[in-house]
Chain A
Amino acid sequence: MTTHAPVLEIRDLHVDFRLATGPVHAVRGVSLAAHAGETLAVVGESGSGKSATMLAALRLNPEPPCVYSGGEILLDGRDLLALPEKRLREVRGNDVAMVFQDPMTSLDPLQRVGNQVAEVLRTHRGASRAGARTEAVRALDEVGIPDPELRARQYPHELSGGLRQRVMIATALVGRPRVLIADEPTTALDVTVQRQILDLIAELRARHGMAVVLVTHDLGVVAETADRVVVMNAGRVVEHGTVAEVFETPRQQYTRDLLAATPRLEPTS
């Protein structure tokens, strides 16, 4: 798979935040590549710059204070940082979609969930109201939401955390993106629900041949789902490789510490 050109490639990206208290260099020369049909995990602790990098991929960091001071973000070889805002909107949610950590704050509390899913189709595909609605119900069904007809008419607060995250994924996937960026998609969820959501993302990735970029702080999640992994610390990539390489022969002390600190269930006698 990795012999193909990557769908999304970030080259030597620098992101600064110019705050009143002084500039913060959040991302300092990050390079990574996501390939079709593959899951790339981006691992790091708070302040590692992983979220700023991912938001940069769609240029979603608030400007100002954010400044993209260097590098390229290539989608099929086209540099997103050079695109005007109007063209960028065609990319967002269409070619590249994002799922965030907290489904409660990412969904509009005053909109029925069906409409929120349909909105993507209406903006990007110019779908008719009725057409978008049928498609939305189908998308809800695809992400394993039981009784999608009924759920489409409900509001976010009427759904459980797991169902809300499924709605978010449906919203992200209904436009058939080629890249799905999932930023800590299961951190706010219970373990049993987390397992279901991770399985769902893997299944959809396989079915649609998407590239998945999974941002997480949990090495357990990485081991369960990712093909390749990028470890970030203080705005830099400190380690990258296949999951087996990074887990078995970590080259950096930071990665070793992170692995050692990860709580794991030991088999008990």
Chain B
Amino acid sequence: MTVIRNRLALAALCVLALLVIAAVFAPLLAPDDPAKQQLLARLTPPAWEGGGSLAHPLGTDQLGRDVLSRVIYGSRVSLLVGIGAALLAGVAGAVCGLFAGFRGGWPDRILMRFADIQLAFPSLLLALAIVGFLGSGLWNVVLVLGFTGWVAYARVVRSEVLSLRTRDYVTQARATGVTDLTIMRRHLLPNVLPHLATIATLHIAAAIVAEASLSYLGLGVPKDTVTWGSMLADGQLYLGTSWWVAVFPGLALMLTSLAINITGDALRDVADPKAYRR
């Protein structure tokens, strides 16, 4: 309920809700088939510009495809990649961080050195290398972005666990004979979850942008799948003459990532069960 108190967060939530609706009901909402080419109506400007028509509210691209429909369909890939990558990285990172933090010792040292090494690589470069190796494709992109993202989760969870494990209630649980797995599940995980949610929102936004970057470079999902990134890549050639081809997918990307980040901030404020707020 407290999220609602914050108007900005409310606006962000509305944007996200719209996005989810767009992704789920794309076939119903899109005025046109996103792949349908109408070469006679190439680069039609948006409806409110001179020469535009209501048939293509946001105009058409260089092959005469409806931009609005493509933005709507593009949300599917963005959402899938963002949530998929965050889920994958979150689960992997949380499990690694929990074990490393709680058990300590050599598994901790190995895991954290590995994380350091991975962090030393620029993540987009790493993603490029892996996509180059695995080949492009929607699920490979999810896998790659999940893999490059797990370190952030693992580090935060580990550092939280390091402080949580000396809490009296953890000592108490150990003295009671509760098994390590149960302690992690019952006492540690619920207390790191809010932190996980915060990183996840950042990561979802970052993954959506990264997917767009990969697609922009032609290394993302296959050409016949509509994504905001590939739309941007197509549109940049026409930026001087037909700005709408690149600007609308870019706008969608920016709004989405902004909305997710704002929601993440709000989530963090709400996560405290004691809810001491003015």
Q: Check A-B contact in the complex, CB < 8 A.
A: yes
- Seen from chain A, the residues whose Cβ lies within 8 Å of a Cβ on chain B are 19-20, 64-65
**Residues of A contacting B278 with CB < 8 Å?**
19-20, 64-65
Interface set, chain B 255-278, CB cutoff 8 A to A:
277-278
**Residues of A contacting B277 with CB < 8 Å?**
20
Alpha-carbon distance between A153 and B277 when the two chains are bound, in angstroms: 40
**Residues of B contacting A64 with CB < 8 Å?**
278
Alpha-carbon distance between A19 and B277 when the two chains are bound, in angstroms: 8
CB distance from B98 to the nearest CB of A (A): 29
Alpha-carbon distance between A188 and B151 when the two chains are bound, in angstroms: 40
Nearest residue, chain B, Cβ from A19: B278
CB distance from B225 to the nearest CB of A (A): 48
Which 5 residue pairs across A and B have the least CB separation, nearest first?
Answer: A20-B278, A20-B277, A65-B278, A64-B278, A19-B278
Interface set, chain B 186-221, CB cutoff 8 A to A:
none
User: Interface residues of A: mostly helix, strand, loop or mixed?
Assistant: loop
Alpha-carbon distance between A64 and B277 when the two chains are bound, in angstroms: 12
- 5 contacts across the A-B interface (CB closer than 8 A): A19-B278, A20-B277, A20-B278, A64-B278, A65-B278
**Residues of B contacting A65 with CB < 8 Å?**
278
**Residues of B contacting A20 with CB < 8 Å?**
277-278
Nearest residue, chain A, Cβ from B278: A20
**Residues of B contacting A19 with CB < 8 Å?**
278
CB distance from A67 to the nearest CB of B (A): 13
Nearest residue, chain A, Cβ from B275: A20
CB distance from B179 to the nearest CB of A (A): 35
Alpha-carbon distance between A65 and B276 when the two chains are bound, in angstroms: 12
Alpha-carbon distance between A20 and B277 when the two chains are bound, in angstroms: 7
CB distance from B276 to the nearest CB of A (A): 8
Alpha-carbon distance between A19 and B275 when the two chains are bound, in angstroms: 12
Alpha-carbon distance between A19 and B276 when the two chains are bound, in angstroms: 9
Alpha-carbon distance between A64 and B278 when the two chains are bound, in angstroms: 9
Alpha-carbon distance between A225 and B277 when the two chains are bound, in angstroms: 40
Nearest residue, chain B, Cβ from A18: B278
Alpha-carbon distance between A20 and B2 when the two chains are bound, in angstroms: 12
Nearest residue, chain B, Cβ from A65: B278
CB distance from B273 to the nearest CB of A (A): 15
Alpha-carbon distance between A107 and B168 when the two chains are bound, in angstroms: 25
CB distance from B39 to the nearest CB of A (A): 61
Nearest residue, chain A, Cβ from B277: A20
Interface set, chain B 89-106, CB cutoff 8 A to A:
none
Alpha-carbon distance between A19 and B278 when the two chains are bound, in angstroms: 6
CB distance from A20 to the nearest CB of B (A): 6
CB distance from B257 to the nearest CB of A (A): 31
Alpha-carbon distance between A144 and B58 when the two chains are bound, in angstroms: 79
Nearest residue, chain B, Cβ from A64: B278
Alpha-carbon distance between A246 and B277 when the two chains are bound, in angstroms: 40
Alpha-carbon distance between A65 and B278 when the two chains are bound, in angstroms: 8
CB distance from A64 to the nearest CB of B (A): 7
Alpha-carbon distance between A251 and B203 when the two chains are bound, in angstroms: 65
CB distance from A179 to the nearest CB of B (A): 32
CB distance from A22 to the nearest CB of B (A): 12
CB distance from B3 to the nearest CB of A (A): 15
CB distance from A151 to the nearest CB of B (A): 29
CB distance from A18 to the nearest CB of B (A): 9
CB distance from B109 to the nearest CB of A (A): 25
CB distance from A39 to the nearest CB of B (A): 35
Alpha-carbon distance between A130 and B242 when the two chains are bound, in angstroms: 70
CB distance from A184 to the nearest CB of B (A): 22
CB distance from A177 to the nearest CB of B (A): 33
Interface set, chain B 145-177, CB cutoff 8 A to A:
none
Alpha-carbon distance between A65 and B277 when the two chains are bound, in angstroms: 11
